[in-house]
Amino acid sequence: MAAVKRVAFLGLGIMGNPMAANIARGGFELTVWNRTRERADEFASAHERVTVADTPAEAASNADAVISMVPDTPEVEEVLFAAADGMSDGGLAVDMSTIAPTASRSIGERLAERGIRFLDAPVTGSRPKAEDGTLTIMVGGDEADFERVRPVFESMGRLVLHVGPSGHGEMIKLINNTLSAINAAALAEALATGQAAGADTDKLRQVVAAGSGGSAMLELKAQVMLDGDFEPLFKLEHMLKDVRHCIAEAEALGLELRVAKLVESIYAEAAANGLAERDFAAVADVIGGNSP
């Protein structure tokens, strides 16, 4: 099968908008659909070679591949099954949203019944990386399908990897996010201890960054936690959802994730304390006795 040249992009939200923009800049023929039509019109007027569709099916009918980037499982199902009405046999659907691996595999199976091929391709990296085209994209599904879409992925991402069969992109994304959640909670305990001891937190951070306790969370969230500035880059309720999905997937595989489960309860406590819509770094507010 030939490489994908015509792309339908469904969902121009915080992440979808800059991702679709990079596809347009990459020279692909792009048709976009968005629930709120005005955003699609604004997008089309800002980029070349972009068509706006009235429905997911209309967008799909002009495309070699359909990409969805929407909030959660119900929206993925809604837009992709609607798009399927406009797709021909052997068409290719790619979901780049973050949902549970089991939900993703199930969507792939139901699309297959309609003759449509499917990849799960979630991303890591927040909006700045979506804008720069430096996302990490982890793709589950058939390798030949992946190769057909690879140039499109490469217009949006720096590290683009086929990681395994259907659902494995989502699985690896959940594992990454659960590690982030735990490392952030550990960091919050570390900073709380340092502050309580009267330690110089700048020097604490320098030492840890150079040592075995270093982490991406230290680089990304230590200052945010010290400042108590929890303007959301990734909402705490979304992190909590991912940790819960990871625990459930592991349980289905016969594994008990004790550390993840404790950390899930701590994020749940933060959500119950009114921090659900804040950045997940706000978990620091319920760590180490800083609880209100």
Inter-residue contact 2 to 75 (CB < 8 Å):
no
Interface pick for a second copy out of 178, 222, 243, 281 (rule CB under 8 A): 178
* Cα distance between residue 232 and residue 279, in whole Å: 4
Residue 192 binds to a second copy (criterion: CB under 8 A): yes
Residue 211 binds to a second copy (criterion: CB under 8 A): yes
CB of 63 to a second copy, least distance (A): 27
Interface pick for a second copy out of 82, 175, 226, 268 (rule CB under 8 A): 175
> By CB under 8 A, what part of segment 225-244 binds a second copy?
none
φ and ψ at 79, to 5 degrees?
-75, -35
173 included as an active-site residue: yes
Residue 36 binds to a second copy (criterion: CB under 8 A): no
Q: What is the DSSP letter of 241?
A: H
Contacts for 109 with CB less than 8 Å, ≥ 6 apart: none
Angle at 136 between CA 58 and CA 128, to 5 degrees: 85
Q: Is 201 exposed, middle or buried (0-12, 13-18, 19+ CB in 10 A)?
A: middle
Measured from the CB atom, the residue of 82 and 179 that comes closer to a second copy is 179
Active-site amino acid positions:
173
Binding site for a second copy (CB under 8 A): 101, 124-125, 136, 138, 158-159, 161-165, 168, 171-173, 175-180, 182-183, 185-187, 189-190, 192-194, 196-200, 203-204, 206-208, 210-217, 220, 246, 249-250, 253-260, 262-263, 266, 287-289
